[in-house]
Amino acid sequence: MTTLLQRLVLLFSWLSLLGFGSVAWAQNEISGVRIWPSPTNTRLVFDMAKTPDYSYFTLNNPRRLVIDLADTDRDIDFAAFDNDSDLIRVIRHSTPKNDRAVRVVIELSKAVNTDIFALPPTPPYRNRLVIDLTDPDPDKQTVVMRSDEANQDRDIIIAIDAGHGGEDPGSIGRGGTYEKNITLSVAKKLQALVDAQQGMRAVMTRTGDYYISPNERPELARKHKADLFVSIHADAFTTPQPSGASVWVLSMSRANTELGRWMEKSERHSELLGGAAQVIEDTASERYLAQALLDMSMDHSMSTSYDLSKRVIREMRAVTKMHKKTPQAASLAVLTSPDIPSILVETGFISNPREEKNLNWAQFRQRLADAMFNAIQAHFKRTPPDGTLWAKLRNLNRTHKVQSGESLSLLAQRYNVRVSEIKAANNLTSDMVRIGQVLTIPSI
């Protein structure tokens, strides 16, 4: 027995000298690589078997980021993974510190800001090492200005937010459908409708498969001076039975329904999946609403959001079953813009097999986008923002056909003009109007 043990020890020592021992000793491994490019940054993710023990440094001429992973198997081919990033030229191995380590070299196309951090297992993922590469000087995007000079006849700006993306797949249907793919498809269809309408323009919070934190999304809408923020999602629950679409607005307190609480929990889970370091380090940062939001601007925004939500629900009833017939409220980060009316549209339950099948049908997604656009169009036709082309057209040669129960005083209040001005524009000698009478409404 002693002789056998001695032979095994000698054999293992011989293998170690030849470089085979690192495979036997390695306690960790890179099991997968994912690259998520966005317009301004690239996220590189290494799926790890265990918590990574890492260090890194940068080199110039050429620009490289070098990462050392201790006690890790190097049996992975980086060339086998797709790389669509404009910031990463190539990912390759280099000579490690020792036989039990891996040295990864990321060759860069330009100088970048680097943020590297490890993430614990968060279903559906295991341990991860995340490398965020940010372009410090991205191409400047066109932003709509609201100066006095540029404020005349401007477009109505609709910010369209495709939920989830990149590392965060959102909910996953039983058939394997990712929510992030459904939301991006519907968002692009809605974008096409908005851009085809004269006097309207859409801006997208994301245009591809990459992650943006819920807190950043309304900031992107504000950057583009949006008049409306629409976030598109696909609902999910713990059981397959719930079904139907719904529309959500901001609640100033915690959600008071089980589904609302589930949505709030899902949004925090999305932060973990996407790798928001501040959430990992401080789990108390779930307080998305600051006291500063409680002002008159927020009150107006919330009121407008609620009215628009009702219009969206009316339009979507013709397309799909509604889970709730009235707007619902929850404390969601994507809805917290104090100055931009914001709604979140749940297009259906991806956890319901029938609705998952519907959401995978392109024609159904188009009908959902049509319903949202019809509601948005009707809302802004009634109340176009000041300075827009729509506001100008509304004030020119406006007419109104009198309906049952309407009076001059009611019409004056609705169109923000005086009764005397309506009478003068229509040569009326009394306050009496008749049903079906077409009145000219004077410009404001």
397-441: CATH superfamily: LysM domain (3.10.350.10)
pLDDT per position as a tens digit, 203-257: 999 999 999 988 889 889 999 999 999 999 998 888 899 999 999 998 766 444 5
User: pLDDT tens, 110-138?
Assistant: 999 999 999 998 888 899 999 999 998 87
Low-confidence ranges of the chain (pLDDT < 70): 1-26, 139-152, 252-269, 271-298, 397, 443-444
The predicted structure's pLDDT at residue 138 = 76
The overall average pLDDT reported for the chain is 84
Q: What is the pLDDT of residue 266?
A: 67
The CATH fold of domain 22-134: Immunoglobulin-like (2.60.40)
Question: In the chain, where are the structural domains located?
Answer: 22-134, 156-382, 397-441
3-state SS record for the chain: CHHHHHHHHHHHHHHHHCCCHHHHHCCEEEEEEEEEECCCEEEEEEEECCCCCEEEEEECCCCEEEEEECCEECCCCHHHCCCCCCCEEEEEEECCCCCCCEEEEEEECCCCEEEEEEECCECCECEEEEEEEECCCCCCCCCCCCCCCCCCCECEEEEEEECCECCECCCECCCCCEHHHHHHHHHHHHHHHHHHCCCEEEEECCCCCCCCCCCHHHHHHHHCCCCEEEEEEEECCCCCCCCCEEEEEECCCCCCCHHHHHHHHHHHHHHHHHCCHHHHHCCCCCCCCCHHHCCHHHHHHHHHHHHHHHHHHHHHCCCCCECCCCCEEECCHHHCCCCCCEEEEEEEECCCHHHHHHHCCHHHHHHHHHHHHHHHHHHHHHCCCCCEHHHHHHHCCEEEECCCCCCHHHHHHHHCCCHHHHHHHCCCCCCCCCCCCEEEECCC
Q: Report pLDDT for 273.
A: 66
156-382 is a CATH 3.40.630.40 domain: yes
